[in-house]
Structure 1
């Protein structure tokens, strides 16, 4: 269950503020939170007093750890209506944010994973701190990097997308800056004063952020990029595994150890998505494709098994089906990418009419 206090939505000065406030769950998104955020953004879209949107978390160590996958997995054990509704509305929120006419500032201060990435990456101004931990770890629970992850990851340099999507590697704030996933590194101790200044003078957003930003530390991932480009060069999962094994370096063997516990189905679907995402003309097409994949994947046995093993029983011993990459055929992967029937397909929120714009 969610309460209105799990998402704080209010105006402060010239800014609309969205604050995630579910700290015991690391601010993981549930359906009511998604709906509360959507309503607030729709209200502010035509409010001329709102010049800027600020998105952060009210307390706790995580900006947003993702979606409430335990609830979604339990839904899938029945008819799956709750899970279907969550993804449908979450993707509508993601699309609304991506196409929103007013600039957004997101503070990725702490854990930013999965669904948290989905509400961070659409923002024009993305702030990281020394506490940022960014990841798309979905393959560990039988899913894929969704919420627009195909679009955001596939546009990264080299083969970083394939590496991040398969391994779920965690990035710090400096890594995010180096890859272009964030554009301002600001020490966490400066955030409260910064947010107050942005609310007071939202028209100065860029100069305020630039004035508070500092040079990030050296990004660890920069030295790894040549290895990533070479060893994750293939779009064939078995070829990536073979390249890592053949290389035999400590770094390559560590990646193999990371990949072995992942869902083979999820890994192959993720690689395929990174091929298909750049072919989607617009973000609405990306969302439609990702919803079709998600609608099938959250009902696949691997999702429930992954959530059980990692988040419910916490035995870290998932039993995947199929159990090996070789067992996941091309036809199986193709099945996740078939268009849904029109009655089940994802649709964006209706476009605004602006009927009263001339009279404002």
Structure 2
């Protein structure tokens, strides 16, 4: 699918009959990955397969994400329903990103022993306060309103106006599409920003152990729930993600973040938490993963120093 989509976008880029590209998911979960992750795990546990095949997938996927961000024609993802993982990657960097009232946006990769990739640390790192760190580590889901507020979407439309939006986009009538979006650009739906006080207080720095401790000392029940979410996730993935996000905040642009993603993905392929996390979450659904390290405090500093040695990642 990654190769087919990349090929088609390249074909359309030079086609004078194509004015813009609309991306929609098939069904409520159409912009949510999972099958790709299971396939990569199958490659890694297959002794007859080459790990380069798995690395090749990430390379192709990140190239597609980069293409969506630099596409010469309006690239319009409509994030209706669940938008996560690879689905978020082909959506969040577009030119005119549309969310709806059914949008459920998240990057939950730490629960499978991976990290928020597909360039999303570029957007997460630019969010106000420590919201990006909170979302990156906990994998919490935000609604369509927050997707707009936190700049992973540009506009929000009511779900029942989706057919009209698709019609305007298909007719390349972008002004009519924007006018339709203005109906509900600033929704009054509940916002994760209401919890900014404890999130900002607890998700500072890059020490996950300190974050969990700070969350346990907060009176808000949501803070305790966030601590529980962190303790269920891969300590290795959490620790690397925290450091990688801080680096992404200093990155020059999306391309630099995608280069960091490619570098990290190769290393995660060699770490047992990825294979174990995918098994527990996506293969033997609901089983308890056995992470390599018991807690983030048990992740050796030397491992992080070796991973992030040499200054900015290539």
Cα contact 1:105–1:124 (8 A) shared by 2:
yes
CA 1:207 to 1:240, structure 2 compared with 1: closer, same or farther past 3 Å?
A: same
Q: 2:177 is matched with which residue: 181, 198, 208? A: 208
Q: 1:250 is matched with which residue: 216, 221, 224? A: 221
1:233 aligns to 2:201 (yes or no): no
* Shift of residue 248, structure 1, vs aligned partner: 4.0
Query: Could you say which residue in structure 2 is the equivalent of 1:358?
Result: none
Query: Could you say which residue in structure 2 is the equivalent of 1:217?
Result: 188
Query: Could you say which residue in structure 2 is the equivalent of 1:267?
Result: 238
Question: Which 5+ residue runs of structure 1 have no aligned equivalent?
Answer: 1-32, 340-344, 347-360
Query: Could you say which residue in structure 2 is the equivalent of 1:65?
Result: 32
Query: Could you say which residue in structure 1 is the equivalent of 2:263?
Result: 292
Cα contact 2:165–2:180 (8 A) shared by 1:
no
1:155 aligns to 2:122 (yes or no): no
Q: 1:93 is matched with which residue: 60, 64, 79? A: 64
* Shift of residue 234, structure 1, vs aligned partner: 2.6
TM-score of the two chains, using structure 1 as the length reference: 0.81
Query: Could you say which residue in structure 2 is the equivalent of 1:21?
Result: none
* Shift of residue 213, structure 1, vs aligned partner: 4.1
Distance 2:43 2:283 in 1: 14
Structure 1 stretches of 4+ moved >4 Å: none
Greater Cα shift, 230-239 or 191-200: 191-200
Question: Which 5+ residue runs of structure 2 have no aligned equivalent?
Answer: none
Deviations 1:222-241 (A, max 9, x none): 21112211111232111111
Cα contact 2:240–2:304 (8 A) shared by 1:
yes
Distance 1:334 1:290 in 2: 17
Cα contact 1:75–1:81 (8 A) shared by 2:
no
Query: Could you say which residue in structure 1 is the equivalent of 2:74?
Result: 103
Query: Could you say which residue in structure 2 is the equivalent of 1:28?
Result: none
1:122 aligns to 2:93 (yes or no): yes
1:185 aligns to 2:152 (yes or no): no
Aligned length: 306
Cα contact 1:137–1:145 (8 A) shared by 2:
yes
Local SS of the residue matching 2:90: helix
CA 1:176 to 1:209, structure 2 compared with 1: closer, same or farther past 3 Å?
A: same
Local SS of the residue matching 1:107: strand
TM-score of the two chains, using structure 2 as the length reference: 0.92
Distance 1:322 1:212 in 2: 47
Local SS of the residue matching 1:225: helix
Distance 1:246 1:44 in 2: 54
State the superposition RMSD in angstroms. Answer: 1.8
Query: Could you say which residue in structure 1 is the equivalent of 2:112?
Result: 141
Cα contact 1:292–1:338 (8 A) shared by 2:
no
Deviations 1:31-51 (A, max 9, x none): xx0001100111111222222
Deviations 1:284-312 (A, max 9, x none): 22222110101110231000100111111
Local SS of the residue matching 2:5: helix
Distance 1:334 1:97 in 2: 33
Query: Could you say which residue in structure 2 is the equivalent of 1:36?
Result: 4
